[in-house]
Amino acid sequence: MKVKDCSAIVTGGASGLGEACVRQLVGAGAKVAIFDFAREKGESLAAELGPKVFFACTDITQDESTQNAMDKSVSALGALHVVINCAGVADSGKAFSKKGPLPLSAFNRVIQINLVGTFNVVRLAVEQMLKNEPNHEGERGVIINTASAAAFDGQVGQPAYSASKAGVVGMTLPLARECGEYGIRVMTIAPGIFQTPMMAGFPEKVREALGKMPVFPQRLGRPEEYAALVEHIIENPMLNGEVIRLDGGLRMAAK
Residues taking part in catalysis: 161
Say whether 250 sits in a helix, a strand or coil: coil
Q: Taking each helix axis from N to C terminus, what angle separates 16-27 and 223-235, rounded to the nearest 10 degrees?
A: 50
d(CA 250, CA 192): 7
Q: What's the DSSP call for residue 4?
A: G
d(CA 68, CA 60): 11
Check if the beta carbon of residue 22 is closer than 8 Å to that of residue 32. Answer: yes
User: Beta strand pairing status for 96-97 and 100-101?
Assistant: antiparallel
